[in-house]
Amino acid sequence: MEQLKNESETELQNQSEAEMRDEKYMKEALKQAKKAYALEETPIGCVIVHEGKIIARGYNRRNTDKSPLAHAEISAIKKASKKLGDWRLEECTLYVTLEPCQMCAGAIIQSRIPRVVVGCMNPKAGCAGSVLNLLDVQAFNHQAEVKTKVLEEECSLMMKQFFRELRAKQKMKKKSLLSE
Ligand SMILES: [Zn+2]
């Protein structure tokens, strides 16, 4: 009985340790998202963790780089592959503040990343369960385990604040154009 209790306690402890670890790395992804924010880009950030260490970071630079490929995940996947000297990222976990789009979910499957941790969902474009779940198509040769809603509040608040500011800026611009 005592042993059973200890076992379930250890399990609980492991569970909360894993949760804390996921939150810790999501905070790092949020730091990346802030870099995008500072460039007036939609604030999306990503980190890739290998053997308990962050090996790659990335943030959205779509406007800055004038490229539809410049998503946070793609940039981090490129860096991680370079760092490990392998296109296969089989022992990595990818953390991203917003649910990946179809391109990034595709790159996650292509790079064999086994685990993806997502901050907030993207109902209109997300491909990790919202519009589609490209990370869990049994007909493909690889699937990734997905954990969603880690630090969801922080991640979605940052997005909301960004779009609120963007709308206010656009309104101001319109006003100043009208008064010219
Ligand atoms: Zn994407």
Q: How would residue 14 be classed by pLDDT, with cut points 50, 70 and 90?
A: confident
Q: Taking the CA atoms of 132, 44, 156 and 173 in sequence, report the sign of the dihedral they define.
A: negative
142 has binding-site annotation: no
- CA 8 to ligand 1 centroid distance, Å: 39
Domains in the chain: ranges and CATH: 19-179 (3.40.140.10)
CA 145 to CA 152: how far, in whole Å? 18
- CA 85 to ligand 1 centroid distance, Å: 23
Instruction: Enumerate the H helices of 94-151 as residue ranges.
Output: 102-110
Q: How would residue 5 be classed by pLDDT, with cut points 50, 70 and 90?
A: low
pTM of the model: 0.92
Mean pLDDT of the chain: 95
Which pLDDT score, from 0 to 100, does residue 2 have? 57
- CA 176 to ligand 1 centroid distance, Å: 34
101 has binding-site annotation: yes
pLDDT digits (tens, 9 = 90+) for 69-104: 999 999 999 999 999 999 999 999 999 999 999 999
- CA 103 to ligand 1 centroid distance, Å: 5
Q: How would residue 35 be classed by pLDDT, with cut points 50, 70 and 90?
A: very high
Instruction: Enumerate the H helices of the chain as residue ranges.
Output: 2-38, 72-84, 102-110, 152-179
Local structure of 135: helix, strand or coil: helix
Which pLDDT score, from 0 to 100, does residue 109 have? 98
Which pLDDT score, from 0 to 100, does residue 15 have? 85
Give the active site residues.
Answer: 73
Fill in the DSSP letter of residue 9.
H
Which pLDDT score, from 0 to 100, does residue 141 have? 92
What is the DSSP code string of 29-77? HHHHHHHHHHTTS---EEEEEETTEEEEEEE--TTTTT-TT--HHHHHH
Question: Which two tokens mark 177?
Answer: 């154009």
Q: How many other β-carbons are positioned within 10 Å of the β-carbon of residue 20?
A: 10
Local structure of 165: helix, strand or coil: helix
CA 155 to CA 158: how far, in whole Å? 5
How many angstroms separate the Cα of 102 from the Cα of each of 48, 110, 113, 125, 141? Answer: 18, 12, 15, 8, 17
- Look at 7-16, 75-84, 123-132, 141-150 and tell me which has the smallest mean pLDDT: 7-16
CA 156 to CA 40: how far, in whole Å? 16
CA 1 to CA 41: how far, in whole Å? 56
